[in-house]
Amino acid sequence: MPPMHDALRSPPMRCLLLKDAFRHAPDRTGGAGRDTNAHAYLMLSYLLQRLGLALVTCLFISALTFLIIRLPPGDFVDAYIANLTASGSSVSHEQAEAMRREYGLDQPVLVQYARWMGRVLQGDFGVSMVWRRPVTEVIGDRLWLTMVVSLAALFLTWAIALPIGIYSAVRQYSIGDYIFTTLGFIGLAIPNFLLALILMYLGFRYLGLNVGGLFSPDYVQAPWSWARVWDLIKHLPLPAAVLALAGTAQLIRIMRANLLDELRRPYVVTARAKGLSEMRAILKYPVRAALNPFASSVAYLFPYLVSGSIVVSLVLGLPTVGPLLLQALVAQDMFLAGAIVLLLGVMTVIGTLISDILLIWIDPRIRLEGRA
């Protein structure tokens, strides 16, 4: 959701640092013959650094998750008993104490956290109170579908923002540039859940159909098959587009601003002076350079899209973890809610890490000098 607004507007910090690093690069006379071992070492240390940060992030998320689980007054057993009592059955005091011991609720908080982490690492997220089933079972495909929707939105964002960003920069102040800039502003200003709401309303009102969902009715309960996958793919564009709108608008601006910056650089003149066609000169050099901040925007874009998918899913009725999370929170089904928050966070961090590693391959300065 939009706290990333500003983040996406300006090229991410990392890229600024990159530029600095490169500006102050000491001259090296060595050339390509430099020790390849040193490169491998630098790269490895960079990788380890990213990996370490990802781990810290995951740990932080887990602590927050634990906090969320623990925050509501009373503990899990209280809630569990209240839930059972509400549905008619009763639990004795001894049973309750036994459950507390079993879940380690009589231990200090840190011990509880460690135990909980231990279980989580073994894939045991506890039992959902509302569903009376293991949390992992309740979540089922929903986590993957969340990721599929977010990734689809990510690719859509790139696929739209890249060409339009290039166009807007190369034809700065043209009519097309004005149109895209204006559209971009409007895209930025419409929160995606409102957009989803408006689309739902229009679809219902004028087409008389429910535009939400990720599957046709026939496939909602069906086991996975190619036909079901195809059905999913057919339903992806609308939610992906809704999610992608704001991000696309921001990426267009990033791309435009970066490319405008790069277009002023002397190497573009060099490329032109070689006799390259304008198209080739632009695509090979400045676009290539502007691609770096663009690609590293994934670090902010992806968490933002995952975030957004939660609210959008609620409006569009997508079978992602979004609606489940809200239900769980409202019902104070904290193990389920905690698992969802934790899994979403960790998946996002992993996604970001992968993109980071891919970035290394794009940028020769990081690859060869280990500088980031």
Partner 1 sequence: MTAADPLASAGQDRWAEATQLRLTWWRFRRHRLAVISLVIIALFYLIAAFADFLSINDPHATDARRSFIPPQAIHFFDENGFNPHVYGLRGVRDRQTFQLVYTPDPNRKLPVQLFTRGYTYNLLGLIETDIHLIGVTGAQRGEGIFLLGTDQLGRDLFSRMIVATRVSLFIGLAGVTLSLVLGVLLGGISGLYGGWVDTVIQRVIEVLRSIPTIPLWMGLAAALPNSWSTLQVYFAITIIISLIGWTDLARVVRGRFLALREEDFVVAAELAGASQGRIIFRHMLPSFMSHVIAAVSLALPAMIVSETALSFLGLGLRPPAVSWGILLQDAQNIQVLSGAPWLLSAAVPVILVILAFNFLGDGLRDAADPYG
Partner 2 sequence: MRLTLMADQIALAVRDLAVHFEMEQGVVRALEGVSFDLRAGRTLGIVGESGCGKSVTARSILRILDRPGRVVGGSIVLDPGSSGSTDVLALDSNAERMRAIRGGRIGLIFQEPMTALSVHYTVGNQIIEAVRQHSDLSKQAARDRAIELLREVGIPRPELRVDAYPFQLSGGLRQRVGIAMALAGDPDILIADEPTTALDVTTQAQVLDLLRRLQAEKGIALMLITHDMGVIAEMCDDVAVMYLGRIVEYAPVETLFAAPRHPYTRALLRAVPTILAKPRQRLATIGGAVPHPGARPVGCPFHPRCSEVIEGRCTAAVPPPIPPGQAGASCFLEVPG
What would the two tokens of residue 175 be? Answer: 């009519």
β-pairing, 133-134 with 127-128? antiparallel
What would the two tokens of residue 225 be? Answer: 């098959």
- Calpha distance 37→368 (Å, rounded): 10
Kindly report each contact of residues 5-9 with a partner whose C-beta sits within 8 Å and lies 24 or more positions away, as own/partner. Answer: 5/188, 5/250, 7/300, 8/247, 8/250, 8/251, 8/253, 8/254, 8/297, 8/300, 8/301, 8/304, 9/250, 9/253, 9/254
- By CB under 8 A, tell whether 277 contacts partner 2: yes
- By CB under 8 A, tell whether 133 contacts partner 1: no
Identify what 314 binds: partner 1, partner 2, none; CB under 5 to 8 Å per kind. partner 1
- By CB under 8 A, tell whether 267 contacts partner 2: yes
Identify what 326 binds: partner 2, partner 1, none; CB under 5 to 8 Å per kind. partner 1
Choosing from 179, 222, 273, 330, the residue that interacts with partner 1 (CB under 8 A) is: 330
DSSP characters over 300-362? HHHHHHHHHHHHHHHHHT-SSHHHHHHHHHHTT-HHHHHHHHHHHHHHHHHHHHHHHHHHHHH
- Calpha distance 245→297 (Å, rounded): 15
Identify what 197 binds: partner 1, partner 2, none; CB under 5 to 8 Å per kind. partner 1
Find the shortest distance in angstroms from Cβ 287 to partner 2: 10
Identify what 72 binds: partner 2, partner 1, none; CB under 5 to 8 Å per kind. partner 1
- By CB under 8 A, tell whether 68 contacts partner 1: yes
- By CB under 8 A, tell whether 219 contacts partner 2: no
Contacts of 240 (CB under 8 A, 6+ apart): 149, 152, 153, 156
Give SS3 for 133: strand
The 3 state secondary structure assigned to 166-203 is HHHHHCCCCHHHHHHHHHHHHHHHCCHHHHHHHHHHHH
- Calpha distance 218→231 (Å, rounded): 10
- By CB under 8 A, tell whether 34 contacts partner 2: yes
- By CB under 8 A, tell whether 222 contacts partner 1: no
- Calpha distance 365→22 (Å, rounded): 8
- By CB under 8 A, tell whether 265 contacts partner 2: yes
- By CB under 8 A, tell whether 265 contacts partner 1: no
Applying CB under 8 A, which part among 35-43, 83-91, 102-110, 341-349 lies near partner 1?
341-349
- By CB under 8 A, tell whether 369 contacts partner 2: yes
Applying CB under 8 A, which part among 83-91, 190-198, 218-226, 260-268 lies near partner 2?
260-268
Alpha helices, DSSP H only, in 203-277?
A: 226-235, 237-263, 266-273
Choosing from 4, 77, 148, 318, the residue that interacts with partner 1 (CB under 8 A) is: 4
- By CB under 8 A, tell whether 372 contacts partner 2: no
- By CB under 8 A, tell whether 271 contacts partner 2: yes
Residues in 6-65 that interact with partner 1 by CB under 8 A: 6-7, 9, 13, 16, 53-54, 56-57, 60-61, 64-65
Tell me the CA end-to-end span of the chain in Å, nearest whole number: 27
- Contact assessment for residue 369 and residue 312, using Cβ atoms and an 8 Å cutoff: no
Identify what 132 binds: partner 2, partner 1, none; CB under 5 to 8 Å per kind. none
What would the two tokens of residue 25 be? Answer: 């690069």
Choosing from 3, 175, 266, 361, the residue that interacts with partner 2 (CB under 8 A) is: 266
Instruction: Give the footprint of partner 1 on this chain (CB under 8 A).
Output: 1-7, 9, 13, 16, 53-54, 56-57, 60-61, 64-65, 68, 71-73, 185-186, 188-191, 193-194, 197-198, 200-201, 204-205, 210, 264, 299-300, 303-304, 306-308, 310-311, 314-315, 325-326, 329-330, 332, 337-338, 340-341, 344-345, 348-349, 352
Instruction: Give the footprint of partner 2 on this chain (CB under 8 A).
Output: 22, 25, 27-34, 264-267, 269-278, 284-285, 288-289, 363-365, 368-369
